[in-house]
Amino acid sequence: MPSRIWPEMSRRGWIGLPMLCRRSWSSLKNRVMVGLLAGAVASAGTPLPAVGQDPLLPDSTSPRSWMVLPFAGYTPETSMAFGGLFAWIQGQPEDPERVRTSLMTGGQYTLKGQLVAGLDLETRPAPEWFIRVGGNTKIRWPDRFYRPGNWTGREAHETWSSRGVDVWGRFLRQAVNPHLFVGPQVALRYVEILEVEEGGILDLEDILGGTDHGLLGLGLAATWDSRSSPVYPRSGSFHSASLAGYRSFHGPRAVVGRGEVDLRIFRSLGPSTVLAARGRFRAAWGDVPFTLHTGIGGTGGGLRGIFETRYADQTAAMGVMELRRFLFWRVGCVAFGAVGQVAQSPGRLSLGGLHGAAGGGLRFKLLPASGLNLGVDFAMGEGESNLYFLLGEVF
């Protein structure tokens, strides 16, 4: 997760503190949670702060904590959502402010009838290892389906619902440079289609993935991480690349390849300003089901202001720049702009097909010691406008 919950979040005395939850598991990383977290926050192994100590500042004697966070939220994709989140965080023994292990698991139910549970784990069990594991179980997930392509109309969608499992893992080991990690990645995806719109594309099975299907994936991944902080980076970079092959184990026979390059840089423009930039290219080939298509909308896709799955296809490219500035006390602001495009293959991408979105927002520094922010963003793009509430930065 780009936003880390630091150990000081679980200090005693935070019972009933309202806060926002950006996301609770990796499968919903494109969906920014909007809402108030108001609930019991429990901690383990964390002594009470000493007299005169700021309870927001980290204490070197408490490198480990856990918390339970009931929440209510809203996104355009889910409507109102209600659920709970469990998080367990372990800091570096020599530096408790740096997270060594971050585990999040939770579930949510939405007014659209969506029910999902998921898990997201990032751990550094030793300095030379970098392990990421995530996934979700969608018990029921009504959603919008847009025909794949780069020119889909805002209202050109049909309804469908599914259930399934999506899990993945990356097991990376340090190589050549302290910031470089390389290793295998595995994935499993199973989708069972429950309901489709009569007479629609899925009803006519006029698309790959229009019936129940399951895929197993295996590949290689590499990550470069030199960020000054995983919570609010002021300098450094975070780059990743992966290449994987998938083969069906359920449903129609399918063989799929998928590759991705994701580049992120952070530059300090003074004591109060940070410039952040991200570029991502992802492509799939072979018998690609639509559930493996990549979208460019929302926070995960990069173009805030556009519905998450409105533009999606086998190939997607996007770039986003964001200027982050501190104003006064704990208040800051951001301004951002992004462009992106999808296509059936890389050769069909062109400058003439770019979509754009832009917006701005406010930030409130919830935890000064770690730089963790609460945020609200308003963005517009391609005839749409959306409001996003989040915990931490988008990338």
Asked if the model's pLDDT at residue 38 lies above 60, the reply is no
Which of 33, 16, 100 shows the shortest CA–CA distance to 391?
33
Residue 294 to residue 307: CA distance in whole angstroms? 13
Which of 159, 165, 149 shows the shortest CA–CA distance to 117?
165
Per the CB < 8 A criterion, the answer to whether 119 and 133 are in contact is yes
pLDDT grade, residue 122 (50/70/90)? confident
Percent of the chain residues topping a pLDDT of 90: 52
Tokens 């200027």 -> residue: 323
Q: Which CATH class is domain 7-391?
A: mainly beta
- Between 316 and 64, the higher pLDDT residue: 316
Asked if the model's pLDDT at residue 18 lies above 60, the reply is no
Vertex 263: Cα angle to 258 and 264 (nearest 5)? 145
Vertex 264: Cα angle to 263 and 265 (nearest 5)? 130
**Sign of torsion over alpha carbons 225, 133, 144, 117:** negative
Per the CB < 8 A criterion, the answer to whether 71 and 21 are in contact is yes
Which of 73, 65, 59, 88 shows the shortest CA–CA distance to 391?
73
Which of 115, 99, 224, 232 shows the shortest CA–CA distance to 163?
115
25-34, 110-119, 202-211, 245-254 — which is least confidently predicted? 25-34
- Residue 148: C-alpha distances to residues 102, 155, 208, 289 (Å): 35, 14, 11, 11
The mean per-residue pLDDT over the stretch 335-361 comes to 95
The mean per-residue pLDDT over the stretch 269-295 comes to 95
Asked if the model's pLDDT at residue 56 lies above 60, the reply is no
Neighbouring residues of 306: CB distance < 8 A, sequence distance ≥ 6: 296, 297, 298, 355, 357, 381, 382, 384, 386
Question: What is the structure's pLDDT at 105?
Answer: 84
Backbone angles phi, psi at 11, to 5 degrees: -60, 145
The mean per-residue pLDDT over the stretch 277-294 comes to 96
The mean per-residue pLDDT over the stretch 88-101 comes to 60
50-64, 223-237, 329-343 — which is least confidently predicted? 50-64
Which of 155, 70, 147, 180 shows the shortest CA–CA distance to 384?
155
The mean per-residue pLDDT over the stretch 44-48 comes to 35
Tokens 């372990």 -> residue: 90
Q: Which amino acid is at 93?
A: P
Question: What is the structure's pLDDT at 64?
Answer: 47
- Between 328 and 372, the higher pLDDT residue: 328
Instruction: Quick: pLDDT tens for 176-201.
Output: 899 999 999 999 999 999 999 998 99
Question: What is the structure's pLDDT at 243?
Answer: 98
Question: What is the structure's pLDDT at 16?
Answer: 29
- Between 264 and 231, the higher pLDDT residue: 264
pLDDT grade, residue 390 (50/70/90)? confident
- Between 29 and 74, the higher pLDDT residue: 74
- Between 239 and 91, the higher pLDDT residue: 239
Neighbouring residues of 279: CB distance < 8 A, sequence distance ≥ 6: 262, 263, 317, 318, 319, 320
Question: What is the structure's pLDDT at 116?
Answer: 93
- Between 37 and 282, the higher pLDDT residue: 282
Domain segments of the chain as ranges: 7-391
Q: Which amino acid is at 190?
A: Y
Residue 261 to residue 189: CA distance in whole angstroms? 21
The mean per-residue pLDDT over the stretch 21-38 comes to 37
Instruction: Quick: pLDDT tens for 124-156.
Output: 888 889 999 999 999 999 999 999 999 998 888
DSSP 135: E
Tokens 């799939």 -> residue: 284
The mean per-residue pLDDT over the stretch 83-99 comes to 64
- Between 93 and 110, the higher pLDDT residue: 110
Structure tokens at 48: 């009470």
Give the count of beta carbons closer than 10 Å to the beta carbon of residue 242: 17
* CB contact burial 35-73 (16+ within 10 A = b; e otherwise): bebebebbbeebeebeeeeeebebbeebbbbbbebbbbb
Average per-residue pLDDT for the chain: 80
Question: What is the structure's pLDDT at 9?
Answer: 33
Backbone angles phi, psi at 23, to 5 degrees: -165, 155
